[in-house]
Structure 1
Amino acid sequence: MAPAPLVSIVLPVYNDESTVAAALESCLAQTITAIEVICVDDGSTDGTAAIIERFAARDVRVHLIRHEQTMSAFEGRRSGVRAASADHVLFLDGDDELTADAAATARAKADATGADLVGFGVTVIEQDGSTGNRYEQRLQPVHTHLEGADVLRGLFPVGKAAQGQLWRYLFRTEILREAYALLPERLVLERVNDLPLMFLVAALSTRYVSISERLYRYHFGRGGSGHRVDTVDRAVFYTSAIRSIDVIRPAVESLAQMQPESPVLESYESARLAMIGYVCFQLIERSDSGVLDAALAHLHTVASAHDIIHAAARFYPATLAALSHHTPWLGAGERPVRSILLATSTLRTGGVSAVLTSQAHYLREAGYRVTIVARSGGSDPAAIPAGATFVELSVRGRVERLEAWAEICRIHEVDVVIDHQVLYTDHWPEFALMARAEGASTIGWVHNFVARPVFDGTERLTLIERCSNTLAQLVVLSPLDVAYFTLRGVTHVSFAPNPPSPLLLESVSHPVQKSAPQDRIELVWWGRLEQRTKQVRELIAVGVELRRLEVDFRLTIIGPDWDDVTAAKLNAEARRHRVSASVVAVGPLHGARLRTAIDAADAFVSTSIIEGYQLTIAEAQARGLPVLMYDLPWLTLVQGNDGVVSVAQGDARGLARAAADLIDEPQRYATLSQASMDAAERALDYDFARLYRDIVDGTVSPEFSPEPTLDDARQLLGLMVFYAERSNRDGRETSARASSISRRAWEWAAPIGKKVLRQFPRLRPYAHRAKQRLRLR
Structure 2
Amino acid sequence: MKPVPVVSIVMPVFNDEATLAASIESALAQTLPDVEIICVDDASTDGTAAVIADFVARDPRVRLVQQERNLSAFQARRAGILAAEADYVLFLDGDDELVPHAAERALAVARESDADLVGFGVTVIDKNGHTGGSYERRLQPRHERLDGALAVLEGLFPLGTPAQGQLWRFLFRTSVLRDAYAELPDDLVLPRVNDLPLMFLVAALATRYVSIEEKLYRYHFGRGGSGQVVDSIERAEFYVSAIRSIDSIRAAVDALAPRHADPQALRDAYESARLSIVGYVTSQLIDRSDSTVLDAALAHLHEVASAHDIIQGAARFYPRVLTVLKFHTPWQPVGHRPVRSVLLATSTLRTGGVSAVLASQAHYLREAGYRVTVVARSKGSDPKAVPPGVEFVELEARELVDRMQEWADICREHEIDVVIDHQVLYTRYWPEFALMARSEGAATVGWLHNFVGRPIYDGNDRLSLIEQCSNTLAQLITLSPLDVAYFKLRGVQHAAFVPNPPSPMLQASVAQQVTKVPPAGHIELVWWGRLEQRTKQVTELIEIGVQLRKLSVDFRLTVIGPDWDTLTAKKFNAEARRRRVGEQVVAIGPRHGDQLVAAIDAADAFVSTSIIEGYQLTIAEAQARGLPVFMYELRWLTLVQDNDGVVAVRQGDAAGLARQISEVLADPQRYRELSDASVKAAGQALAYDFAALYTGVVEGTLPPEFSPAPALEDAQQLLGLMVFFAERAPHRGREQTTQSAVDQSSLGVRVWQSAAPLGRATLERVPGLRPLAHRAKGWLRAR
TM-score tier, shorter chain, comes to 0.5 to 0.7
Equivalent residue number for residue 500 of structure 1: 502
* Cα distance change of structure 1 residues 538 and 219 upon mapping to structure 2, 3 Å threshold: closer
DSSP-derived class of the 1:727 partner = coil
Deviations 1:36-93 (A, max 9, x none): xxxxxxxxxxxxxxxxxxxxxxxxxxxxxxxxxxxxxxxxxxxxxxxxxxxxxxxxxx
DSSP-derived class of the 2:606 partner = strand
Shift of 1:217: 8.1
Equivalent residue number for residue 373 of structure 2: 371
1:385 is aligned with what amino acid?
Answer: P
Question: 1:280–1:296: 8 Å Cα contact kept in structure 2?
Answer: no
Shift of 1:454: 0.9
Distance 1:415 1:510 in 2: 40
DSSP-derived class of the 1:671 partner = helix
Q: What is the TM-score with the length of structure 2 in the denominator?
A: 0.57
Question: 2:229–2:288: 8 Å Cα contact kept in structure 1?
Answer: no
Counterparts of residues 601-620 of structure 1 (less than 5 Å): 601-620=603-622
Shift of 1:215: 11
Question: 2:283–2:314: 8 Å Cα contact kept in structure 1?
Answer: no
Distance 2:367 2:235 in 1: 53
1:532 has 2:534 as partner: yes
Equivalent residue number for residue 490 of structure 2: 488
Distance 1:370 1:217 in 2: 62
2:495 is aligned with what amino acid?
Answer: V
Distance 2:234 2:492 in 1: 31
Equivalent residue number for residue 626 of structure 1: 628
Moved more, 568-577 or 593-602: 568-577
DSSP-derived class of the 1:448 partner = coil
Give the alignment partner of residue 128 of structure 1, picking from 72, 76, 83. 72
Question: 2:230–2:289: 8 Å Cα contact kept in structure 1?
Answer: no
Shift of 1:663: 2.8
Question: 1:309–1:433: 8 Å Cα contact kept in structure 2?
Answer: no
Counterparts of residues 373-772 of structure 1 (less than 5 Å): 373-727=375-729
Shift of 1:221: 7.7
Distance 1:330 1:310 in 2: 26
Distance 1:493 1:414 in 2: 22
What is the aligned-residue identity percentage?
63
Shift of 1:490: 1.2
Shift of 1:449: 0.8
Distance 2:292 2:393 in 1: 36
Question: 2:278–2:313: 8 Å Cα contact kept in structure 1?
Answer: no
Equivalent residue number for residue 780 of structure 2: none
Counterparts of residues 105-120 of structure 1 (less than 5 Å): none
Distance 1:663 1:221 in 2: 77
DSSP-derived class of the 1:585 partner = strand
* Cα distance change of structure 1 residues 284 and 520 upon mapping to structure 2, 3 Å threshold: closer
Shift of 1:299: 8.1
Deviations 1:149-201 (A, max 9, x none): xxxxxxxxxxxxxxxxxxxxxxxxxxxxxxxxxxxxxxxxxxxxxxxxxxxxx
* Cα distance change of structure 1 residues 216 and 335 upon mapping to structure 2, 3 Å threshold: farther
DSSP-derived class of the 1:571 partner = helix
DSSP-derived class of the 1:323 partner = helix
Question: 1:555–1:582: 8 Å Cα contact kept in structure 2?
Answer: yes
Distance 1:636 1:216 in 2: 71
Question: 2:233–2:296: 8 Å Cα contact kept in structure 1?
Answer: no
Shift of 1:664: 2.1
2:637 is aligned with what amino acid?
Answer: L
Equivalent residue number for residue 152 of structure 1: none
Question: 2:632–2:653: 8 Å Cα contact kept in structure 1?
Answer: yes
Distance 1:587 1:607 in 2: 18
Shift of 1:286: 3.8
DSSP-derived class of the 2:72 partner = coil
Equivalent residue number for residue 320 of structure 2: 321
Higher-Rg structure is 1
Distance 1:309 1:435 in 2: 19
DSSP-derived class of the 2:534 partner = coil
DSSP-derived class of the 1:533 partner = helix
Shift of 1:657: 1.4
Distance 2:307 2:598 in 1: 54
Distance 1:552 1:215 in 2: 86
* Cα distance change of structure 1 residues 354 and 556 upon mapping to structure 2, 3 Å threshold: same
* Cα distance change of structure 1 residues 128 and 697 upon mapping to structure 2, 3 Å threshold: same
Question: 1:283–1:295: 8 Å Cα contact kept in structure 2?
Answer: no
Question: 1:511–1:624: 8 Å Cα contact kept in structure 2?
Answer: no
Shift of 1:448: 0.8
Distance 2:598 2:655 in 1: 28
Shift of 1:475: 0.9
Distance 2:444 2:728 in 1: 33
Question: 2:278–2:310: 8 Å Cα contact kept in structure 1?
Answer: no
Question: 2:611–2:632: 8 Å Cα contact kept in structure 1?
Answer: yes
Instruction: Flag structure 2 segments of 5+ consecutive residues without an equivalent.
Output: 1-68, 78-182, 193-224, 241-276, 738-783
DSSP-derived class of the 2:639 partner = coil
DSSP-derived class of the 1:532 partner = helix
Question: 2:73–2:190: 8 Å Cα contact kept in structure 1?
Answer: no
Instruction: Flag structure 1 segments of 5+ consecutive residues without an equivalent.
Output: 1-124, 134-212, 240-277, 736-777
The size of the alignment, in residue pairs, is 485
Counterparts of residues 272-291 of structure 1 (less than 5 Å): 285-286=284-285, 289=288, 291=290
* Cα distance change of structure 1 residues 603 and 287 upon mapping to structure 2, 3 Å threshold: closer
2:323 is aligned with what amino acid?
Answer: S
Question: 1:524–1:605: 8 Å Cα contact kept in structure 2?
Answer: yes
Question: 1:521–1:659: 8 Å Cα contact kept in structure 2?
Answer: no
Shift of 1:233: 12
Distance 1:548 1:424 in 2: 41
Moved more, 646-655 or 575-584: 575-584
1:556 is aligned with what amino acid?
Answer: T
Shift of 1:220: 7.5
Shift of 1:469: 1.3
Question: 2:425–2:449: 8 Å Cα contact kept in structure 1?
Answer: yes
DSSP-derived class of the 1:551 partner = coil
* Cα distance change of structure 1 residues 452 and 439 upon mapping to structure 2, 3 Å threshold: same
Question: 1:341–1:414: 8 Å Cα contact kept in structure 2?
Answer: yes
Distance 2:447 2:636 in 1: 17
Counterparts of residues 230-269 of structure 1 (less than 5 Å): 230=231
Question: 2:476–2:496: 8 Å Cα contact kept in structure 1?
Answer: yes
DSSP-derived class of the 1:418 partner = strand
Counterparts of residues 50-61 of structure 1 (less than 5 Å): none
Question: 1:229–1:283: 8 Å Cα contact kept in structure 2?
Answer: no
Distance 2:297 2:402 in 1: 28
Shift of 1:232: 9.1
Distance 1:330 1:383 in 2: 33
* Cα distance change of structure 1 residues 294 and 502 upon mapping to structure 2, 3 Å threshold: farther
Deviations 1:504-551 (A, max 9, x none): 111111132111111111111000011111011011111111111111
Provide the alpha-carbon RMSD of the alignment: 3.6
* Cα distance change of structure 1 residues 677 and 406 upon mapping to structure 2, 3 Å threshold: same
* Cα distance change of structure 1 residues 382 and 635 upon mapping to structure 2, 3 Å threshold: same
Q: What is the TM-score with the length of structure 1 in the denominator?
A: 0.57
